[in-house]
Amino acid sequence: MSTISSSTATAATTTSTATTTPAQAVQAFTDGACLGNPGPGGWAALLRYGGRERELSGGEPDTTNNRMELLAAISALEGLSRPCQIDLYTDSRYVQQGIQSWLPRWRSNGWRTSDGKPVKNQDLWQRLSAAAQPHSVRWHWVRGHSGHIENERVDELARVAAQQWRSGARP
């Protein structure tokens, strides 16, 4: 298991108000990739719990990097069958800051940004919020391409998924 120093990671917690039985501890590592922006894209998640690991990946033929980053986090959360305590690691400031800071303001502003423009990827932000709801999630940012073993793994899986979409051999 790798450790993350405080200089390369930040965290915040989103906690569900639902009462549940003791939740399972899960680590989720996520990443998205896009070959061109927009272009063919891929996303990946690595779930670690109870001494086991599970890899998830997918993609789309014409998308953006931000959408793939969001889908990676969404897929990690939706891939869990019961409420969990999750440490979710992403190298996307867009995902981390969006879920921690921007989402509440967007909701209160009728899904408009501070300058009155519609929020990009509103469909995925709503889906991410719903996927996080049953869980207690601590959101961590890690520097991408810095040797973080799990981040490098999901980066590779996301790039492979994007390349499969580019070549026409869907994952």
Q: What is the pLDDT of residue 168?
A: 76
Catalytic residue numbers read 31-32, 69, 91, 145, 155
Strands of the sheet containing 39-49, edge to edge, are 9-15, 136-142, 84-90, 24-34, 39-49, 52-63
Tens of pLDDT, residue by residue, the chain (171 residues): 332 222 233 344 444 434 445 579 999 999 999 999 999 999 999 999 999 999 999 999 999 999 999 999 999 999 999 999 999 999 999 999 999 999 999 999 999 999 999 999 999 999 999 999 999 999 999 998 889 999 999 999 999 999 998 887 665
Report in angstroms the alpha-carbon separations of 171 from 43, 99, 131, 165: 11, 28, 23, 7
Q: What is the pLDDT of residue 22?
A: 59
Q: What is the pLDDT of residue 170?
A: 64
**CATH T-level assignment (fold) for domain 9-167:** Nucleotidyltransferase; domain 5 (3.30.420)
Beta strands 84-90 and 136-142, pairing class: parallel
Q: What is the pLDDT of residue 166?
A: 84
Question: Rg for the chain (alpha carbons), in Å?
Answer: 16
Amino acid identity at 10: T
Which residue reads 């549940």 in tokens? 20
Q: What is the pLDDT of residue 11?
A: 42
Give residue limits of the domains in the chain: 9-167
- What burial class does residue 169 get, using C-beta atoms within 10 Å of its C-beta: 0-12 exposed, 13-18 middle, 19+ buried? exposed
